[in-house]
Copies of this chain bind each other. A is one copy, B any other.
Amino acid sequence: MASVFPLADLKASVKSDPRPGSRSDSWVDTIIKGDCVSALEALPSHSVDIIFADPPYNLQLGGTLHRPDQSLVDAVDDEWDQFASFEAYDAFTRAWLLACRRVLKPTGSIWVIGSYHNIFRVGATLQDLNFWILNDIIWRKTNPMPNFKGRRFQNAHETMIWASPSAKAKGYTFNYDALKAANDDVQMRSDWLFPICNGSERLKGEDGKKAHPTQKPEALLARVIMASTKPGDIVLDPFFGSGTTGAVAKRLGRHFVGIEREQDYIDAASARIAAVEPLGKAELTVMTGKKAEVRVAFNVLVESGLIKPGQVLTDARRRYSAIVRADGTVASGGEAGSIHRLGAKVQGLDACNGWTFWHFEDGQSLRPIDDLRSVIRSDLAKAE
């Protein structure tokens, strides 16, 4: 897993089995080293299910920026983020988006993340190329960097665009019911709240400094992948960087393909992905349709890591137990469903408040999962 694939070898491999849709599988679950567009052009047509792209933002920073305490802000000044003009950035964007569409299945979809520096150009280019925008999604950051000079609003979000390859492409995956069940039985909205990536999740080099300047949080990728793929799907990331997409895809039982130019990033991502333990099949079953009659309400706990997929919940007296799945449903015996339904089911009742019925192990004691919801609510309140 996560082997590195030199571009020349990839071309030879794909040439030997070039049928669209077929694949020799040699490039699946690998990181292809090379230029984004060249690597994309070496892949078979219509061969991946979704694309998650975190392209350079084309930040145009002036001088240096200091905090009020005079410490220096470590800005993104990498060579890969430098473009001569908007025209150059647009040409770059067109090229990789066109290459992406050829590789994407007609039933697939693409996600692109950006900030106000680049996202408007990306969105307009997507439309110009006849991609069909399905949603724009706002990642609200719980802990964004402040505006130090007090001359603007605190830049507290980033924008993702979710699009299908054409207006007529209808087969894209959207796990509506699972998302709704996981969101307290109301539709998942277009604004998502997550912390930025730091702490132990943040990859660091031997010098203790961040391995990549723009590492995205796994929770963000988890929601993207759970929303728009099925288990076993192939997720392509043409700007692989620190490999968050690959790590989350592997954990969630999806395949990945990464494209990356810089060897340092490839090394960090390879090691990271190798350490990932995939979830089991039971945890990954995505609820589909209404026949399951299952309505869950706590995937935020799962996404935030307060509850982990595979974790066992019980009632207060440990008479009943259930296993948490990655999509925010729970399973027990042959039954699966929302915390509320399964709680009722195991007790033989018509209704049940899953939040107070199900408990989790906290050291030696059992605590209701509602306690964890309080933690999330507290975070949400702070973010408002």
* A interface residues with partner B (beta carbon < 8 Å): 66-71, 75, 78-79, 82-83, 86, 115-117, 119-124, 126-128, 130, 132-138, 140, 144, 146-147, 150-157, 159, 161-162, 167-168, 170, 174, 176-177, 179-180, 187-191, 193, 227, 289, 347, 349-353, 384
Q: How far is the CA of A230 from the CA of B159 in the complex (A)?
A: 31
- Asked if A156 and B191 sit within 8 Å, CB to CB, the answer is yes
Q: Which 9 A-B pairs have the closest CB atoms?
A: A120-B123, A156-B189, A116-B136, A154-B187, A124-B124, A150-B176, A120-B124, A135-B153, A156-B190
Min distance, Cβ A56 to any Cβ of chain B, angstroms: 16
Q: How far is the CA of A152 from the CA of B135 in the complex (A)?
A: 7
**Closest CB in chain B relative to A289 CB, distance in Å:** 8
Residues of B near A347 (CB, < 8 A) are 70
Q: Which residues of B contact A115 (CB under 8 A)?
A: 136
Instruction: Check A190/B71 contact, CB under 8 A, given A116-B161, A127-B86, A159-B136.
Output: no
Name 6 extra pairs, CB < 8 A, besides A68-B353, A116-B123, A150-B289. A69-B167, A70-B352, A121-B127, A150-B180, A153-B179, A153-B189
Q: B116 to A147, Cβ gap below 8 A?
A: no
Cβ-defined contact, B188 with A154, below 8 A: yes
Inter-chain CA distance A133–B353, complex, in Å, is 48
- Evaluate contact between A70 and B190: CB separation under 8 angstroms: no
Beta-carbon contact of A157 and B190 below 8 Å: yes
From the candidates B70, B116, B384, name the one contacting A351 in the complex (CB within 8 A).
B70
- Residues from chain B with Cβ under 8 Å of A179 in the complex: 153
Report chain B residues within 8 Å CB of A147.
187
21 examples of A-B residue contacts, CB within 8 angstroms: A67-B167, A71-B167, A83-B128, A83-B130, A86-B127, A116-B133, A116-B135, A119-B123, A121-B124, A136-B159, A138-B191, A147-B187, A153-B179, A153-B189, A153-B190, A154-B189, A156-B189, A156-B190, A157-B191, A159-B159, A193-B384
Distance, CA A358 to CA B140, complexed state (A) = 32
Q: Which residue of B lies closest to A136 (CB)?
A: B116
Contact B349 A70 (CB under 8 A): yes
* With contact pairs A188-B154, A190-B156 given, residues A69 and B127 touching in the complex (Cβ less than 8 Å): no
Cβ of A119: which chain B residues have Cβ within 8 Å of it? 120, 123, 136
Which B residues are CB-close (under 8 A) to A71? Answer: 167-168
One of B130, B137, B168, B177 near A69 (C-beta < 8 A): B168
Q: Which residue of B lies closest to A146 (CB)?
A: B187
> Closest approach, in angstroms, between the C-beta of A242 and any C-beta of chain B?
25
